[in-house]
């Protein structure tokens, strides 16, 4: 029997997990549950990752975690346990499925517009690296990582999913028109991976346009893959299309460990009242059953759920207000009673993956380095120095130009990304954080790290260099962005 780790979570977690496991038992789901200690209480007991070493061991041994929502204590500098779990175990793809359900009225269901959208959100990189610094008293900076290998992983997952589930289209949402290097890399790898799936229509769409079209014509989308932060926002938008977070299941998929969880949080306002809606966690559990090859059980439970919803049975957060709401226990009981029934107003679910047994992955024994071969010539041509100073750009420029070794020249200064020196508008409002682009005199010329660090040391005698970035070219490709107006 497959053993999985189960963490009930905080707030409503216990209530909804108990309801879901009761439904699983009634449907004779054949899994062995190992309950693990994770969540708020364990942070407060001093486990800085929010889980006990036994919990970590269990999850790394079973490779499957079914979890309820969890709370990370606020204001104590602790990192979100949910994000830590996803990142530590490299669950690079967050899959969320949004579908119209009979009995869950929305403006779209009333207008007869069916919704069946899968959002695949990159789950590890982007601003979720959480690498932030105060670069001056006034300026906070967050480093945003998009990597070729991380992007390839999530795109391949999206296309594989489309192929397996019979979707015809995958779209990539992005903001590559603004973030040409980061989102540009995400988009470039999307089309590279798409070449391996010629039967699937690959397209891309700028994220703001995507949001507008998701709201105005959601039926046009099947699978949409996005970077982490944009994916986070867009998936909540999609939750709104189908009646809220209570109906959105989610799985976090990696090559080794997979985590299945509801999209919503711990709902502290209703915790302990036995009124929470367990549907999102139940649907996430069904994703898990399908992943583990128990497609027959997943279909049977989903059909019972759909039938129950069609009957108008609902918890207090949705449904026909003229029908009294059920509490969590009653809602689960109704689903259990309806096991064996199929929905009348929608297509019954089929077993799909039944019979394909899940095999526990062979775990790596050392950390994997994901890297592409370096085929392009890499040339260091200078450095961007970020200066913390209230001086004007002209004053900063004068100081730098006075002291720069002959090898280098100051090419431009930008403030908040807009060029303010040597030319710019007097109307560009500035803050005490100047980006000073210093390059070799001959722009095709090359420098080295020793010359750069010596140059920084000289500038540092006069100005506070709060951070720096190397300017490199990779073959024909410039490895840095231009300033607005440059
Ligand atoms: P939330 O999702 O917990 O609650 C938002 C609203 O939705 C509340 O009014 C709540 O009562 C309602 N709601 C949520 N789930 C429901 C359900 N199953 N049935 C009925 N109503 C439901 O979001 P909030 O308040 O922003 O976060 C509360 C806590 O949850 C925070 O500590 C947050 O960090 C944590 N959280 C954990 C997540 C996870 O474990 N994956 C995800 C999101 C938030």
* Pocket test residue of 39, 266, 271, 319 for ligand 1, highest count of atoms within 8 A of CB: 266
Q: For the sheet containing 477-478, what is the strand order?
A: 418-421, 408-415, 434-440, 378-387, 465-474, 477-478
Residue of 345 and 31 predicted with greater confidence: 31
Predicted pLDDT at 263: 87
Residue nearest to atom 40 of ligand 1 (CA): 69
Q: Dihedral through CA 125, CA 126, CA 132, CA 137, nearest 10? A: 180
Q: Per-residue confidence at 339, pLDDT binned at 50, 70, 90?
A: very high
Contact by Cβ (8 Å): 321, 53: no
Query: Residue 278 corresponds to which tokens in the numbers above?
Result: 């367990």
> Counting Cβ atoms within 10 Å, is residue 163 exposed (0-12), middle (13-18) or buried (19+)?
middle
Nearest ligand 1 atom to alpha carbon 277: 19
Taking only the tens place, the pLDDT of each residue in 347-385 is 898 886 545 678 999 999 999 999 999 999 999 999 999
Q: Where are the domains of the chain?
A: 378-478
Provide long-range contacts, Cβ within 8 A and 24+ apart, for 475-478: 475/375, 475/376, 475/377, 476/376, 477/376
In this predicted structure, the answer to whether residue 209 has a pLDDT above a threshold of 60 is yes
User: Which of 50, 69, 76, 121, when mutated, tests ligand 1's pocket best, judged by the most ligand atoms within 8 Å of its CB?
Assistant: 69
The reported pLDDT for the residue numbered 354 is 47
Neighbours of 338 (CB within 10 A): 21
Contact between 67 and 9 under an 8 Å Cβ cutoff? The reply is yes
pLDDT per residue over 441-472, tens digit each? 875 689 999 999 999 999 999 999 999 999 99
Atom of ligand 1 nearest to the CA of 316: 20
| CA–CA distance, 98 with 233 (Å, rounded to integer) | 14
Which of 267, 271, 280 to probe ligand 1 with, by most ligand atoms within 8 A of CB?
267
Share of the chain above pLDDT 70, in %: 98
| CA 329 to ligand 1 centroid distance, Å | 19
Task: Out of 129-138, 165-174, 279-288, 316-325, pick the least confident.
Answer: 316-325
Determine the Cα–Cα distance for residues 249 and 321; give it in Å rounded to an integer: 24
**Which region holds residue 39: left if phi is over 0, alpha if psi is between -120 and 50, else beta?**
left
User: Ligand 1 centre from 110 Cα, in Å?
Assistant: 26
Alpha-helical segments (H) within 279-353: 279-291, 295-310, 328-337
CA–centroid distance, residue 249 to ligand 1 (Å): 13
**Which of 79-88, 105-114, 435-444 is most confident?**
105-114
Taking CA atoms only, the protein residue closest to ligand 1 atom 43 is 265
CA distances to 278, 321, 343, 363, 411 from 316, in Å? 11, 8, 22, 43, 62
Place of tokens 């004053």: 395
* Per-residue DSSP letter, 390: S
Distance CA 72, CA 81 (A): 6
403 pLDDT more than 60: yes
Tokens, residue 189: 């790898």
393 CA → ligand 1 middle, Å: 46
Q: What is the pLDDT of residue 246?
A: 82
| Pocket around ligand 1 at a 6 A CB cut-off | 12, 16, 69-72, 82, 245-246, 261, 264-270, 276-277, 280, 317
Cα 97 to middle of ligand 1, angstroms: 18
Q: How far is the CA of 240 from the centre of ligand 1 (A)?
A: 14
* pLDDT, the chain, mean: 94
Among protein residues, the one with the nearest Cα to ligand 1's atom 20 is: 276
Assess whether pLDDT exceeds 60 at residue 72.
Answer: yes
H or E stretch including 109? helix 107-110
Q: Got the DSSP string for 408-475?
A: EEEEEEEETTEEEESS--TT----S-EEEEEEESSTT----HHHHHHHHHHHHTTS-EEEEEEEEEET
Q: For atom 44 of ligand 1, which residue has the closest CA?
A: 265
pLDDT over 80 at 75, yes or no: no
C-alpha of residue 261 to centroid of ligand 1, in Å: 12
CATH class of 378-478: alpha beta
User: Which residue is closest in CA terms to ligand 1's atom 10?
Assistant: 267
Closest C-alpha to ligand 1, atom 18:
277
* Ligand 1 midpoint to CA 230 (Å): 20
Q: What are phi and psi of 12, to 5 degrees?
A: -75, -5
CB 408 within 8 A of CB 399: no
- Average pLDDT on 219-227 reads 97
**Adjacency order of strands within the sheet including 258-262:** 31-35, 2-7, 64-67, 258-262, 249-253, 93-99, 116-122, 223-226, 169-174, 201-206
* 63 three-class SS: coil
The answer to whether 146 and 182 have CB atoms below 8 angstroms apart is yes
Q: For residue 341, count CB atoms less than 10 angstroms from its CB and return exposed for 0-12, middle for 13-18, buried for 19 or more.
A: middle
**Which of 265, 278, 315 to mutate to test ligand 1, by most ligand atoms within 8 A of the CB atom?**
265
pTM of the model: 0.93
User: What DSSP designation does 247 have?
Assistant: G
What is d(CA 391, CA 431) in angstroms, rounded to the nearest whole number? 10
Q: What is the mean pLDDT of residues 271-278?
A: 96
């Amino acid at each position: 029997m497959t053993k999985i780790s189960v963490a009930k979570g905080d707030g409503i977690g216990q209530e909804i997990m108990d309801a879901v496991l009761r439904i699983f038992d009634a449907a004779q789901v054949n899994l062995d549950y190992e309950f693990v200690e994770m969540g708020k209480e364990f942070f407060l007991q001093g486990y800085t990752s929010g889980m006990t070493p036994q919990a970590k061991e269990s999850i790394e041994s079973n490779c499957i975690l079914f979890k309820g929502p969890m709370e990370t204590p606020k204001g104590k500098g602790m990192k979100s346990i949910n994000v830590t779990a996803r990142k530590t175990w490299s669950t690079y793809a967050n899959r969320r499925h949004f579908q119209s359900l009979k009995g869950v009225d929305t403006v779209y269901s009333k207008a007869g517009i069916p919704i069946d959208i899968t959002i695949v959100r990159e789950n590890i990189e982007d601003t979720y690296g959480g690498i932030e610094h105060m670069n001056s008293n006034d300026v906070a900076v967050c480093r945003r990582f998009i990597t070729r290998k991380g992007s390839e992983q999530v795109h391949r997952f999206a296309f594989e999913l489309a192929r397996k589930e019979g979707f015809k289209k995958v779209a990539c949402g992005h903001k590559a028109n603004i973030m040409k290097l980061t989102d540009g890399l995400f988009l470039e790898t999307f089309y590279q991976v798409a070449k391996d799936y010629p039967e699937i229509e690959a397209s891309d769409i700028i994220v703001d346009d995507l949001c507008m079209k998701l709201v105005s014509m959601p039926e046009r989308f099947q699978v949409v893959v996005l970077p982490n932060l944009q994916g986070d926002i867009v998936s909540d938008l999609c939750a709104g299309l189908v009646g809220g977070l209570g109906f959105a299941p989610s799985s976090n998929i990696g090559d080794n460990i997979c985590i299945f969880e509801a999209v919503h949080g711990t709902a502290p306002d209703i915790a302990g009242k036995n009124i929470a809606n367990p549907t999102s966690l139940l649907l996430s559990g069904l994703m898990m059953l399908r992943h583990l090859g128990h497609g027959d059980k997943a279909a049977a439970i989903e059909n019972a759920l759909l039938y129950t919803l069609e009957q108008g049975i609902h918890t207090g957060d949705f449904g026909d207000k003229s029908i009294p709401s059920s509490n969590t226990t009653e809602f689960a009981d109704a689903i259990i009673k309806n096991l064996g029934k199929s929905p009348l107003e929608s297509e019954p679910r089929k077993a799909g993956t039944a019979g394909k047994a899940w095999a526990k992955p062979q775990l790596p024994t050392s950390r994997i380095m994901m890297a592409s071969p370096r085929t392009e010539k890499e040339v260091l041509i200078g450095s961007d120095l970020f200066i913390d100073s209230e001086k004007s750009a002209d004053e900063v420029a004068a100081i730098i130009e006075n002291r720069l070794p002959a090898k280098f020249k100051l090419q431009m200064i930008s403030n908040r990304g807009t060029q303010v020196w040597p030319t710019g508008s007097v109307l560009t409002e500035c803050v005490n954080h100047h980006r000073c682009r210093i390059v070799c005199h001959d722009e095709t010329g090359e420098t080295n790290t020793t010359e750069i660090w010596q140059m920084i040391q000289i500038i540092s005698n006069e100005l506070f260099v709060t951070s720096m970035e190397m300017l490199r070219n990779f073959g024909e490709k410039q490895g840095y962005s231009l300033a607005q107006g440059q």
